[in-house]
Structure 1
Amino acid sequence: MKKKAKVSSSAATPQSLQQTVTELINAGKIEEALKKIQVRLMFAPKDTWFLHEAARLYRRSEKLDEAERYYLRVLAVNPHDLGSLNGLGLTYYDREDFANAEKYYQMALSVLPSYAGCRNNYGIMLHKMDRYQEAAEQYQLALEADPNHLEARFGLSSVLAHMQQLKPAAEHMRRLLELSPQDARTQCTLGMVLMQQGNFEPGWALYRSRYSKNNPRRFVNLPSINRPYWEGEDLTGKAILVHTEQGMGDEIQFCRFVTRLKQEKGASAVYLMCRPVLHTLMQSLPNIDGVIILDKDNPATLPEFDVWSLLLDLPRHFVNSQDPFALQPPYVFAPPQIPEQWRLPSASFRRLRVGLVWKGSSQHANDRNRSLASLSVLHPLWSVPDIEWVSLQKGEGEDEALNAPAEFPILALGHQVTSYADTTAIIDQLDLVITVDTSVAHLAGAMNKPCWVMLPAFAIDWRWIKGQETSPWYPAMRLFRHSDEKSWTEVIGRVRDALAQWHDQQTKA
């Protein structure tokens, strides 16, 4: 009888196979590395190094079920394996299963409290869950274990900024830039913190890092335009194209600077590229030679120009001017003749019209903090008598105005609006706008319409300078901030009291 040939796992030793797998991973050959790992595990199913590498690679490839399975196999061999406890935390975090992620982070930290990487990962998760104070504590503990942990220091600075602790946030960011001077992510974030403190000159300069290719969190991509970028030099005899960026509110707020390029910088021609829904509105701006619609599916023919700039790079070239905030509102206007479609019924005697917006775009990174849960949260305002409520809500939430309870009547118009020019026609007929932090706040502010903005409890946008109840950008605007309670109920109670007082003043005037 012939003897069966003995199968060998490999001529290579486990150590040499580890080196081969590591080299394949470093070369980006993930599938080949996994094949080598699987061969090894056929003959050594409890080899924790290979099990852990398989789990790590599957997570990296977003195959989270496989990653979980291999991490659990490691823990079956060694229940205190720190890499696998932390890895399972990361895997569950990727699934947004935060309860299990927290469980495994805490298990790892019970084994090694000074595990800085795990502290940082735990802080990131808590930060995402809006558990800001707990996140700050984890980042701080990570830094106590490793003062040079760059990610933990960035996380701590970010969460402090979100909690409006701007001074210590800026201090941590400056320390981070000492350790890593070219960190574009930190440069950009520090720029926003400085501007929220009212320190605009260094803030605008650092804010340019928002589109740096070295910024892993860049939120602006430079368009491909084959012309020199304008750096603030004299524009005499030159035409400039200004390209929009970011949200609608940004475009409305900062288009004011475009109007100054001729008179103060000497431009021979000024062109503004904007989104379709803002085209009609932007055409009313003075000192502009053309407004071009930005449409990726149907690119417009561009006029001749010499240099170009992104819209939010303009303010830094005026920061030391007599008026760093440029044109004072109003600088956008409703149509001279209000279209019949938007003409509101005559208001009853002594009744005032107030427009409402309670939600922003759900795509906004901070929408969970800035938007209200529903229109019903604002129902306490209806206790103020003789107010005719008008809904400017567009998109998500507009159905609430269409189906409002009889005891909370509101004229629903937002669902019919197709452009910001339409919205200006409605706002022009109102006495006041009350809104969350969204583009309508900027539109009302740019029209110099009295506007009350309810700011979120956390992650307040940099343009609302800390501690102020008014805005240098919009003289007719009033800001309502959260108290220490961080409750919308408390904010809306103060809005209600202010509305009652304002109503009395207006009707007695």
Structure 2
Amino acid sequence: MHPSSDSGASNTAHNGPVTPPDQSARFTDALEKVRPLLEMQPPLADSMLAEALQIAAVSSLGLGLLDDAESYWRRAIAANPGFVDAYMNLGTLLNGLNRLRDKEVLFRQLLAVRPDLADVHNQLGSMLQDQGRLAEAEASYRQASLVEPDRAEFHYNLGVVLRPLGRWHDAAQAYQRAVELSPGMVMGYSNLGNVLKELGHLREAEAAYRQALALRADYHVAKFGLAILLISMGRFQEGWRLYEERHANPRSMQHKTQKVINRPPWRGEALAGKKLLVWQEGGLGDAIQFGRYFSWLKAQGAAEIAFACAPALHRLFAAVEGVDVVLAHEAGWAGSANYDYWTSLLSAPLYSGTTMETIPPPVRLKLDPSLIEAWRVRLAELPAGRRIGLVWKGNVLHQNDANRSLRSLATLAPLWRISGISFVSLQKGEGEDEGNAPPVGQPLLHLGSDAVDMADSAAIVAQLDLVICVDTSIAHLAASLGTPCWVMLPAEEIDWRWMHERTDSPWYPDTIRLFRQPLDGTWPTVVEQVRQACAEAFVA
């Protein structure tokens, strides 16, 4: 596998190892005995001198004399350029000192002499990978697999770096070879499933995930991968059941939430007369998309339903049917003992028995008329004609933001050529600076910075003719308000809720239209499709 940092001298980076007295005496004695050999005239033969220098280096390291140890190992290498142990020991020392560039130079020096050392190629690949130098890491991993083609971990590591390079087919081949060589490699099957899913080979991806789970039933990464794959294929019954097991993963936020709340999780028990604490899971968009289940939960007879969520959602959900109380997360923690159960909205599809045919309608959002009026005044600054809202970037902390967000507002420039349309920036956070100062020739009314929360954003969106956005919370907000929304989806790691190949969404059948970037495509291609659709929809 992708090797972790070397051990050994790694904890000597600052002051050297702490050597027990008896060990210290042994190292001192060894050093005193070997030093005369290093000064012999005539000198020892190169191979013997290198061995003596190796003893001196190890003894110096044991005494915490790191500079001396390095010097001895370098002299050993000079005496015997093929002395592999000296290179490896010095490499361990350099790693512990965080001198990674020196270690890289050392390993390349060794490989120039001994190109047959597959493990060294692999370690060099790991170093380069950790530094984000993926193309160079690929070359090293490939060389390792050429030297020893039957080592499964080399093919696995190759797959790991090929995926972020966008080499999906090559990554699939690398993972496939890895599991052929090592049929028990759980991570290999799981990662193979991830890549096959991106390639659109959904049945093969499912088989890979299931093989990983057959080998290790509690491998949460594969279980989660299979869950979202099945949900994205519309196979809700098994998909939501597997998705619920995210709570069992000790690394998951859901597992940590359970620890904090310290109340029984709701698993479909009768709610008549019970008090239920609903905890926001995921981002703002998740809360809005699954807010449709509040009315269903209330219909189960719950005496009180409290929603603990981000401040940006408080005003929006205060008037949502089924929500009795809206709380800050801190208040939710503090008052959790007052509730019989806690749950996440993303658990509701499982316990409500939701199928593709029975997805509830979007949450009904009731907006304050005074808020609508306040934003109507701002929108009145625009000339007569159609109004289209824009969001080109999502939350930079999102795991797939590098793919889902546009690089800049300028990517949308083709839209400005459509006559009779005014554009409104709803951008929050990343990208606000562009909204405030759009390039010359890109007229834009930027309102995002003035929107305090999602209630403000909703009051704006409700007065627009269309929203064009990347995959972010505004898509769910617009669609729930009944405002048509066109979502531009990335080529890689498309969120499961948008399913596969569809241009519509069963979650928002009347409002969402999807524009998908091909796996090897670019954003300008998608933007041009959106421009053409706009021209057809709004230009007489």
Question: Same fold judged by TM-score > 0.5?
Answer: yes
Q: Which has the higher helix share?
A: 2
Pick the aligned partner of 2:210 from 152, 162, 174.
174
Shift, 1:464, TM fit: 0.7
Distance 1:51 1:302, change over 3 A: same
Query: CA 1:39 to 1:53, structure 2 compared with 1: closer, same or farther past 3 Å?
Result: closer
User: What CA distance in whole angstroms lies between the structure 1 residues aligned with 2:86 and 2:499?
Assistant: 53
Q: Does 1:281 align with 2:308?
A: no
1:293 equivalent in alignment to 2:342: no
Distance 2:281 2:275 in 1: 20
Question: In structure 1, what is the equivalent of residue 514 of structure 2?
Answer: 479
Report if aligned partners of 2:234, 2:356 keep a CA contact under 8 Å in 1.
Answer: no
- Measured in 2, the distance between the counterparts of 1:271 and 1:136 equals 45
Alignment of 1:206-225 (within 5 A): 206-213=242-249, 218=252, 220-223=254-257, 224-225=260-261
Match of 2:365 in 1: 332
Which residue number in structure 2 is paired with residue 489 of structure 1? 524
Partners of 1:100 and 1:480 lie apart in 2 by 34
Match of 2:305 in 1: 270
2:139 to 103, 111, 132: 103
**Which amino acid in the other structure matches residue 198 of structure 1?**
G
Q: Deviations over 1:91-123 (max 9, x none)?
A: 111111223312311221221223221111111
Aligned residue identity for 2:401: D
1:25 corresponds in structure 2 to none
CA contact (8 A) 2:294 2:323 kept: yes
SS in 2 for 1:390: strand
The SS at the match of 1:434 is strand
Rounded Cα–Cα distance in structure 1 between residues aligned with 2:502 and 2:329: 35
Offset from partner CA, 1:20-40 (integer Å, 9 cap, x none): xxxxxxxxxxx999999x989
Q: Is 2:157 the partner of 1:126?
A: no
1:220: how far off?
4.3
The 1-side partners of 2:401 and 2:279 are apart by 25
Residue in structure 1 matched with residue 390 of structure 2 by the alignment: 356
Provide closer, same or farther for how the CA distance between residues 450 and 377 of structure 1 changes in structure 2, counting only shifts above 3 A.
Answer: same
Q: Go from structure 1 to structure 2 and tell me whether the alpha carbon gap of 1:329 and 1:150 turns closer, same or farther (over 3 Å shift).
A: closer
Structure 1 residue 41 displacement after superposition:
11
Q: Whole-Å Cα distance in 1 between the matches of residues 232 and 98 of structure 2?
A: 38
- The one-letter code matched in structure 2 to 1:6 is K
State the match for 1:226 in structure 2: 262
What does 1:19-38 correspond to in 2, within 5 Å?
none
Aligned to 2:153: 117
Structure-2 separation of matches of 1:416 and 1:32: 63
Give the secondary-structure state (helix, strand or coil) at the position aligned to 2:423. strand
Pair 1:59–1:231, CA change in 2 (3 A): farther
Superposition deviation, residue 363 in structure 1:
1.6
Give SS of 1:337's match.
helix
Out of 247, 264, 288, the residue aligned to residue 283 of structure 2 is: 247
TM superposition shift of 1:398: 1.9
**Aligned-pair distance for 1:73?**
6.9
Max radius of gyration: which structure? Answer: 2
* Shift in alpha-carbon separation, 1:280–1:210, aligned structure 2, 3 A: same
Q: SS state of the match for residue 222, structure 1? A: helix
Deviation at 1:74, TM superposition (A): 5.5
State the distance in 1 between where 2:193 and 2:123 align: 25
Shift of 1:221: 4.3
The CA deviation string for residues 366-408 of structure 1, in whole angstroms up to 9 with x for no partner, is 1121111211211212222110111111122222222223422
Q: Deviations over 1:32-89 (max 9, x none)?
A: 99999x9899688787458547756976997745754664576476432211110110
The one-character-per-residue Cα deviations of 1:127-164 (angstroms, maximum 9, x if unpaired) are: 12232222112212223333332222221111122233
Q: What do residues 337-390 of structure 1 show as CA deviations (whole Å, max 9, x unaligned)? A: 235552234487861111011111222111121111211211212222110111
Contact between 2:152 and 2:179, CA under 8 Å: does it hold in 1? yes
CA distance in 2 between counterparts of 1:453 and 1:190 reads 25
1:205 corresponds to which of 212, 228, 241? 241
Scaled by the length of structure 2, what TM-score is found?
0.79
The one-letter code of the counterpart of 1:184 is H
- Listed one character per residue, the Cα deviations across residues 298-338 of structure 1 (whole Å, up to 9, x for unaligned) are 96545721111123222211124797423x13512332223
Query: How far apart, CA to CA, are the structure 2 residues paired with 1:441 and 1:32?
Result: 61
Distance 2:95 2:247 in 1: 29
Stretch of structure 1 that moved more, 336-345 or 96-105: 336-345
Residues 428, 61 of structure 1: alpha-carbon distance in 2 compared, 3 angstrom cutoff = farther
1:296-307 correspondence runs (5 A): 301-302=335-336, 304-307=338-341
Residue 429 of structure 1 corresponds to 463
> Could you tell me how far apart the structure 2 residues matched to 1:79 and 1:244 are?
54
Aligned residue for 1:338, secondary structure, equals helix
Structure 1, 286-295 or 476-485: larger mean CA deviation: 476-485
Which consecutive residues of structure 1, in runs of 5 or more, have no partner in the other structure?
A: 9-30
Matching residue's letter, 1:206: L
Mean Cα deviation higher: 328-337 or 68-77 = 68-77
Structure 2, unaligned runs of 5 or more: 1-30, 36-60
Distance between the aligned counterparts of 1:483 and 1:5, measured in 2? 68
Partner of 2:495: 461
Moved more, 99-108 or 383-392: 99-108
